[in-house]
Amino acid sequence: MTIADASNPLSNPTIAEKKLFDRCRAMRATNSRTSAFGLFAETGLPHRRMEQWKWTDIRAALTNLETPSIDLAKQTVEVPEGACVLIFDGVAWKLPETLPEGVSAHRQSDATPLKTIEGLPLGQLTASMTGQDSSSDFVSIEISGKVDQPIFLDFASAPAETAFARLAFNILPDCSVRLIEAHSGNAAFSSTLIEFRLQSGASVDRTFVQRASTAQSVGITATAVLGEKASFVQTALGFGAKVCRVETHVRFEGAEAHAELNSAYLAGDDHHIDFTSHVTHAAPSCTTRQLTKGAVSKGGRGVFQGKFLVPRSIGQFTDADMQHQALLLEDGAEVFAKPELEIYADDVECAHGNTSGQLDEAALFYMRQRGIPAVEARALLTEAFIVEALQTAHEAVRDQMIDEARNFLRAEG
């Protein structure tokens, strides 16, 4: 299929979709772009009639694409001292003149779309909109050492209709990298795709904060493929947007690998935040630990969709745990959750838990009896609840993340 063929497969494209089709048609066609866009064009922007998107309707949120009028300074985290900073301005990646030892970066013209983005419409859209001759950069980074210096990825796009950012990390055997990301750009629609390939014994530690206004829609998609004894640890704090989807796909391909997915979300009025993840245990004796904690105030909406897939025989001796706990801070707060365990192997240990509830009135009264005003008592209890999911965050920004959460809760109360 050519891009021209794919230009209008939808019977009723929205203004935003038409713009995206036009933009793609104007770019040089390459095989991978054509196929990535073709896959995207089959569905268009993800919408509520697609099972995986029933609670997060990007198409409805993005009916038209208008550049937000104001440049909002959105507090996320500050660059820790000594970090290597990569800035994405909405079009291009600005790389530092010298990269730390063990890090090399290349601008890519075109990369073969990885199998791992199949079925990820935002991933496919981002893949087709990045690379040479297109509106934005695609950078691939190879890690060939144990890199201690944190790499700070600053997604700081200027006000624009769209911002598509794409990175690919290849972590060589026994090498490691630690990333800190601030997702606080100003595009009406920003979509980020990061692909990680962890070779045997490699490790990635990723911490990020997402913050956006209710004039913005955000997608943050990551895929990680893990070789033997590799380790992928991700810690996220999300405040949502008009709609925000954080999607993480982990696939174990070598034995005894380990993944940790910890997320905290705080959604205020008119903010929507969705944490979706999919972990495939396609190798024996791998472990997954997943903890998602959220708090939602009036008019906010939180979504958790988690899935563990353990195929027959190759998934033997899987040990996986998925927990989602949400607090509805006020009437009019919404949380939707769908934890799924799909297990075909027989010798596995898989557990999951899913709760949502309100702050304990007895605890609130107890705190007020000791002199702590109601607003502060609520914030303190909520913060204590949320913080558990931030324990694995990079130590250089963990306290900042907790402060951000606290400030949000004080302001909400």
Partner 1 sequence: MRSMLNLQNLHATVGEGDEAKPIINGLSLEVPAGEIHAIMGPNGAGKSTLSYVLTGREGYEVTEGSATLEGEDLLSMEPEERAAKGLFLSFQYPIEIPGVPVMTFVRTAMNAQRKLRGEDEISAPEFIKKAREVGAALNIDAEMLKRPLNVGFSGGEKKRLEIFQMMMLEPRFAILDETDSGLDIDALKTVADGVNVLRRSDRGMLVITHYQRLLDYIRPDRVHVLAKGRIVASGGPDLALRLEKEGYDGVLGEPA
Residues that bind partner 1 in the complex, under the rule CB under 8 A: 360-363, 365-374, 376, 380-381, 383-385, 387-388
The least CB distance from residue 363 to partner 1, in Å, is 5
Closest CB to partner 1 among 128 and 382? 382
The least CB distance from residue 207 to partner 1, in Å, is 20
Q: How far apart are CA 295 and CA 405, in angstroms?
A: 10
Helix, coil or strand: residue 94? strand
Closest CB to partner 1 among 344 and 365? 365
Of 279, 353, 350, nearest in space to 319 by CA:
350
The least CB distance from residue 386 to partner 1, in Å, is 9
Amino acid at 351: A
The least CB distance from residue 368 to partner 1, in Å, is 4
The least CB distance from residue 361 to partner 1, in Å, is 7
Closest CB to partner 1 among 117 and 327? 327
Contact present, 217 and 58 (Cβ < 8 Å)? yes
Tokens matching residue 312: 């027959």
Closest CB to partner 1 among 270 and 376? 376
Cross-strand bridge partners of residue 107: 139
Of 365, 364, 392, 398, nearest in space to 379 by CA:
364
The least CB distance from residue 323 to partner 1, in Å, is 14
Question: Which residues touch 306 (CB under 8 Å, ≥6 apart)?
Answer: 275, 276, 277, 278, 290, 292, 322, 324, 338, 339, 340, 352
Of 132, 187, 195, 122, nearest in space to 161 by CA:
187
Closest CB to partner 1 among 4 and 374? 374
Closest CB to partner 1 among 90 and 294? 294
